[in-house]
């Protein structure tokens, strides 16, 4: 895309922030409620292939950060708008996608708030980092 400026260090930083935020959000902050609402027991969680889950999560977060960087690639987008666009990506697309899916899956609204809130926060921070670090 012509005129798009992507700072790869910003994309990596945004990825790392999202990755760390997930460990906090689904750990000490909302971990117990998330597990209860998801129907995941501690035993079930420990059965998972942690290396695979963490590795792929990192790759997927990187792809999301890169895609957001493409949307925010116009150098005229400042920090304020970049942060706002990041929030609107997380809230307007991701949170709402979870809300629709969870309605049909008959998941609890608490779970929707946990997932949607996480992605809203992460994309807001990603938008801030990517738009600030040109």
pTM of the complete model:
0.94
Q: Could you report the per-residue pLDDT of 31-45, keeping only the tens digit for each?
A: 999 999 999 998 998
Q: Is 33 inside a domain boundary?
A: yes
Q: Is residue 3 part of a domain?
A: no
Q: Which residue has the tokens 């260090």?
A: 9
Q: Is residue 2 part of a domain?
A: no
CA dihedral sign of residues 125, 80, 63, 15: negative
* Angle, CA of 48, 53 and 54, to the nearest 5°: 125
The two tokens of residue 76 are 């005229």
Average pLDDT score over the chain: 96
Does some domain include residue 91? yes
**Is residue 1 included in any domain, yes or no?**
no
A 10 A CB-CB count for 104 gives 7
**Total domain count, the chain:** 1
Alpha-carbon distance of 111 to 33, in angstroms, equals 8
């Amino acid at each position: 895309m012509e005129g798009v400026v992507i700072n790869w260090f910003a994309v990596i930083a945004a990825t790392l922030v999202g990755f760390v935020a997930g460990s906090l959000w689904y750990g000490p902050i909302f971990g117990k409620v998330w597990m209860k609402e998801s129907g995941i027991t501690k035993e079930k969680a420990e059965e998972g292939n942690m290396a695979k889950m963490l590795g792929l999560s990192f790759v997927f977060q990187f792809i999301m950060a890169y895609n957001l960087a493409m949307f925010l690639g116009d150098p005229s987008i400042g920090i304020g708008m970049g942060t706002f666009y990041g929030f609107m990506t997380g809230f307007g697309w991701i949170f709402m996608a979870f809300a629709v899916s969870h309605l049909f899956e008959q998941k609890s609204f608490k779970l929707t708030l946990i997932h949607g809130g996480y992605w809203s926060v992460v994309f807001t921070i990603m938008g801030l980092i990517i738009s600030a670090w040109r």
